[in-house]
Amino acid sequence: MAFDILREMENLRREIDSAFKGFGVGNYLEPAFLPGLSTGRYPQVNLAEDQDNLYVEILVPGVSSKELNLTVMRGVMTVSGERKEDAHAEKIWHRRERGLGKFMRTIDLPCEVDTDKIVAKFQNGVLFVTLPKREEDKPKKVSVVAK
């Protein structure tokens, strides 16, 4: 993969943010939903792989599938969206731990994928994404010949 200055700058920013996390007031002022490219941990993500595919599970409870955007470009998957408040309910809140608003999360993929064959399904507040690996990124069996 070619050197990408923007990706390297974003990785450096994440490392610096991670290094200073916990100093001062720490996570008390960190919002659940951050605008733009965020280092936040929302939505929570699982990333796994087998020989042919990458599998991503993204937890987005309370978010409509219509409010989700998913993009994959140059080894980075971005999921963004918005959790909106129920407009029909007038409530007096006693505790409110789940945030509302826009969010964005970027995930660095461990290999390049075939973007024409990506499949995304949304069920019970979980977005399931299957990303087929490009043929050149799949493991190859090499025959060993004795001489």
Q: How confident is the model at residue 23, as a pLDDT?
A: 61
Question: Where on the phi/psi map is residue 24: left (φ > 0), alpha (ψ -120 to 50), or beta?
Answer: left
Q: Lowest mean pLDDT: which of 13-22, 66-75, 93-102, 124-133? A: 13-22
Residue 128 belongs to a domain? yes
- Between CA 109 and CA 7 the distance in angstroms is 12
Q: What is the CATH number of the domain that holds 80?
A: 2.60.40.790
Q: Which domain holds residue 51?
A: 32-135
Q: How confident is the model at residue 24, as a pLDDT?
A: 55
- Between CA 90 and CA 2 the distance in angstroms is 52
Percent of the chain with pLDDT over 70: 82
- Between CA 75 and CA 7 the distance in angstroms is 10
Domain count, the chain: 1
Residue 40 belongs to a domain? yes
- Please state the pTM of the whole predicted model: 0.66
* Inter-residue contact 84 to 94 (CB < 8 Å): no
Pull the structure tokens for residue 5. 């200055």
- Between CA 107 and CA 130 the distance in angstroms is 14
Q: What is the pLDDT of residues 29-85, one digit of tens each?
A: 444 444 444 445 688 999 999 999 999 999 998 888 998 999 999 889 999 998 887
